[in-house]
A and B are shown apart, each in its own frame.
Chain A
Amino acid sequence: MANIIEVTDLSYHYPQMEQRPALQHVNFTVQAGEWLAIIGHNGSGKSTLAKSLDGLLTPDPQNKGEIKVAGLTLTDETVWQIRAKIGMVFQNPDNQFVGATVEDDVAFGLENRGVPRPEMQERVHAALKRVRMTEFADREPARLSGGQKQRVAIAGIIAQRPDIIILDESTSMLDPKGRAEVLATVRQLNQEDHLTVISITHDIDEAAQANRIVVLDDGQVKETGTPAEIFAYGERLIEMGLDVPYAERLKTALRQVGADVPKQYLTEEGMADWLWTSHSKM
């Protein structure tokens, strides 16, 4: 498959922190239609990377690298074209809700791009239907849960019909139910509309949805691999910035007492299934 994003030799320094670069010579590619997770502990440069892809940071004069999105090299001239191709969902559900009501918020991006009103109404309704928020169309954000607000943010992105959706720790402030709703919506977009997904996360369940995982540490790419390959690191996942799930901790403990546990990543249910079938003779 073709690469939709190509990042070569990207470095970034925040103006006040000359000595400690946020990103150092980062190289990676994202294929069209894939789901890529970026993990890393706090301060590893994950969010800086996400914002760089969308041209949301003031360019770093020392940066020699380049970012290519859908064949366009990111420059001052192309930044708005590139932003039209990328939809971003940020961490705090409240701080990205611009409109006074749900439908206003979904329409905001379309208004910005000068979409004519009849088309705008159509796209807003279709997008809200897609995230199952139609009956909330005239609600104010104060009367929505965090997960609902994030789904509205996703509807705002769907309405703009981008090629790529970036989740910048979008589920980290949600309760488990909200998180599951948001991830289900994104999975649907990835599978049915072949939207490329880049998710920046601490959440192992979110990372497990990905086709590939990139591990960032100190602004550098440490590892790239499938979830099964990355999760095989077990204990070291904590250093990488993931919250290790119960099933993985159990596996490590079992291995220490000499049990022969499977190497690949297991969900909690998978682990339970393995446990109750491991001694079964049938």
Chain B
Amino acid sequence: MNKLIFGRYIPGDSFIHRLDPRGKLLLSFYFIGIIFLAHNWQSYLLLFLFTMFAVLMSRVNLGFFIRGVRPLIWLILFTVILQIFFTRGGHLYWHWGPLVVSQYGLVNGGYIFMRFVLIIFMSTLLTLTTPPLQLSDAIESILKPFKVFHLPVYEIALMISIALRFVPTLMDETEKIMNAQRARGVDFGSGSLSQKMRAIIPLLIPLFVNSFNRAEDLATAMEARGYQGGEGRTKYRVLTWKGQDTLAVAAFAVITGLLIWLR
């Protein structure tokens, strides 16, 4: 159950860890945007070096990033293979009906592969170095302007933070129910697919019922502690934008400039 690498925070005190989560979140999205500016091997090399530099700065083991790619590897390979077989141009190495393997196809396939890997590395970097709670603070802060359109920004952030807070609790509970059902003879691991699915039912039903009970208890407790919605609340946790955050933005601006120059 701990294989879920996406969204797992690795505590640390690197430059990347200390960056403002709002900056990190926005820059991660920005990175996905500028990666489409790259059109030749020089620009991909630049982005690769930049990403590696960021990864090294975070002082998080590279293995975590490679593990982040693994769940998506089939999607990546599928896209790369489509790109290779259906792109024409340049030297033709092989063809069979509509399928071809051309020089352009291979090059484009390589680019697509790089694009995927770099995006995954960058977003993994975000989630590995930012505690989920800070991410939810960042989302709240970024969405704030949308309050004008009656978007319940505060409630959304509270929902995310409560959901995150209950993940370990519910995992523990799942473990307990599984053990309780195992003790009653339920076999979770073996059998055909439909048998496995059926074994999940005695796990899911108590889990659902308990979750609803928890939700009701939690709502009562929140009300007892004076919760009346987001209006008029003050915040205990605040985010502060520092010089290092501006520096990170500047680094991205330089990279953008170089990418445009390399086109």
- A: residues with CB less than 8 A from B are 51, 54, 56, 80, 83-84, 86-88, 90, 92, 94-101, 103-104, 107-117, 120-121, 124, 140-142, 156, 160
Contacts and interface: CB of A to CB of B under 8 A. Distances in A.
Contacts of A120: 234, 236
Contacts, number: 94
A173 to B, nearest CB: 12
Interface residues of B, number: 29
A117 B233 contact: no
A123 to B, nearest CB: 10
Given A121-B236, A142-B172, 9 more contacts: A83-B223, A83-B225, A90-B217, A95-B218, A100-B164, A107-B236, A114-B234, A117-B238, A160-B225
Interface of B: 132-133, 161-162, 164-165, 168-169, 172, 213-214, 217-218, 220-228, 232-238
Given A111-B234, A117-B238, A56 B224 contact: yes
B235 A111 contact: yes
Contact of A116 (B161, B221, B234): B234
B169 A113 contact: no
Contacts of A117: 234-236, 238
A92 B216 CA distance: 12
A112 B228 contact: yes
A115 B164 CA distance: 25
A96 B165 CA distance: 12
B218 A99 contact: no
A144 to B, nearest CB: 11
Contact of B165 (A51, A109, A112, A140): A140
A54 B224 contact: yes
Contacts of A110: 234, 236
Nearest to A91: B217
Nearest to B137: A100
Those 10 A-B pairs whose CB atoms lie nearest each other, nearest first: A95-B217, A96-B221, A107-B236, A142-B168, A112-B226, A109-B225, A100-B133, A88-B224, A100-B165, A114-B232
